[in-house]
Structure 1
Amino acid sequence: MPIAVAQLARAAGCLGLMAVVGATQADEILVAVAANFAAPMARLADPFTAATGHTLKLASGATGKFYSQIVAGAPFEVLLSADDETPQRLITEGHAVAGSAFTYAVGQLVLWSATPGFVDAQGAVLASGRFQKLAIANPKTAPYGRAAMEVLAVRGLTAALSPKLVTGESVAQAHQFVATGNAELGFVALSQVSAPSKAPAGSMWRVPVALYKPIRQDAVLLKTGAGKPAAAALLQWLRSEPAQAVIRSYGYERG
């Protein structure tokens, strides 16, 4: 059962996060959120504010695009990445705080169709020839897109399906292509099609993790947020059991 917002806030108080407010003034922080994590983060925002007094301004998109924006001087203070490579790269290049990165979630790739019964439990539909368009996130900028291409390579379908690929800027756009019927099926994140307490719509294949590199999603404190209690409180909150319970309810595993 999903944890109610009020319960999350009370549990966070038990963890001592309310102490942050007593020592510092409430603040707002700008958070760059990987597209696949937009829904869970939106659900966590109110309990975080209730627990700490701080508020979040969220922007969601492709991790690769966020990297480029951060390097160019975008004022994000925390990055919730869709991989573990981008945060480390930002640390190495001096744009993020050393030692601040940690895995807040491990993502699950699924092959999904908005049509019930279209995708089978083994993903055999990929080799069936029964579709014209397969949506994926841009593998150059989105970890879920890279994972999708790894699956096609393992299945020996890269050459056959490349002409059918419809590439979205992020996994959110790949999901949109399928949801609107512009593609019959697509590789998306489990969190996009399996919300807490709701039965998944359409049909899907949960891709075995052996077919792609684990999608370890890391959070990192960016240099713009260094020294800001609100940013530190958010990173602490994401590690807490109440927050992790919500994250797991969307189909993620704990890092």
Structure 2
Amino acid sequence: MLLALRSILLIALGSAGVAHAAEVQVAVAANFAGPLARIAEGFGAATGHALKVSSGATGKFHAQIVAGAPFEVLVAADDETPKRLAAEGLAVAGTQFTYAIGKLVLWSAQPGLVDDQGAVLGAGKFAHLAVANPKTAPYGAAAVEVLKARGLADVLAPKLVTAESIAQAYQFVSTGNAELGFVALSQVAVPGKPVVGSYWLVPPSLYGAIRQDAVLLKAGEKNPAASALLAYLKSDAAKAVIQAYGYGL
């Protein structure tokens, strides 16, 4: 009888734990999809919550959220989109914060093609240069800034291949559809994996700081798991992952 009561109690406690676990609908900028997958593991272990993640261009997420997409947290590639969503009444005021500073690289899957000064851009001995859409992807906008700073925007315009997101820009280069392209450092320098090809870490003086902000969306205002995710992004455990992928804090 005592053993049976103990079994019932354990089942009840287990059910209570499951009841407290929840799912968070997250829209994440494509450049941060890899780091967020690592962070999700620690978040799940610490809280029991799970993430349902969609990755893509920040500008496209803005349009989807305005159209009623049920995202609860936005992990953006800029700081303007979360601010804009708050002004539009679609994000919770006061919840926005910078979780990372992005770093831009010029990358090629071919070893030795990209030098450590980016001189390959001026030489122009390539057919295609991949960039994310500057209208919707902050890293694409940063890439255009670099080309303008180098005085190469007009010269290289015919060679540009515009991708929907930084993830697609990476795909264009990795598959050889473009010899080189501007992508995020986090996509090239993955912790625990050797760097493929060659890259130039673009000096931050050539483009505006890529401040990547996260914000609680109105759809997630009553979901404690959504607030818990934002809190976890500020934790030492999450920061360690963010830095390991080459971001600044």
Query: What one-letter code is carried by the residue in structure 2 that aligns with 1:212?
Result: Y
The within-5 A match list for 1:118-133 is 118-133=113-128
Structure 1 residue aligned with 2:232 = 237
Query: What one-letter code is carried by the residue in structure 2 that aligns with 1:228?
Result: N
| Distance apart, 1:129 and its partner CA | 1.8
Aligned residue for 2:93, secondary structure, equals coil
Aligned residue for 1:74, secondary structure, equals coil
**Deviation above 3 Å: which 4+ runs of structure 1?**
none
| Offset from partner CA, 1:120-140 (integer Å, 9 cap, x none) | 000000010210100000000
| TM-score relative to the length of structure 2 | 0.92
| Distance apart, 1:227 and its partner CA | 2.2
| Distance apart, 1:199 and its partner CA | 2.4
Query: What one-letter code is carried by the residue in structure 2 that aligns with 1:114?
Result: A
The within-5 A match list for 1:165-204 is 165-204=160-199
Of 31, 38, 58, 1:36 maps to: 31
| Offset from partner CA, 1:163-192 (integer Å, 9 cap, x none) | 000000000000000000000000000000
| Distance apart, 1:43 and its partner CA | 1.0
Aligned residue for 1:145, secondary structure, equals helix
Structure 2 residue aligned with 1:99 = 94
**Gaps in structure 1 of 5+ consecutive residues:** 1-20
**Gaps in structure 2 of 5+ consecutive residues:** 1-15
| Offset from partner CA, 1:34-65 (integer Å, 9 cap, x none) | 00000001111121111001110000000000
| TM-score relative to the length of structure 1 | 0.90
Structure 2 residue aligned with 1:111 = 106
Please say if 1:137 is aligned against 2:137. no
The within-5 A match list for 1:221-232 is 221-232=216-227
Query: What one-letter code is carried by the residue in structure 2 that aligns with 1:236?
Result: A
| Distance apart, 1:216 and its partner CA | 0.4
For 2:149 and 2:190, the matched residues in 1 are separated by 29
Please say if 1:46 is aligned against 2:41. yes
**Percent of aligned pairs with the same amino acid:** 68
The within-5 A match list for 1:80-91 is 80-91=75-86
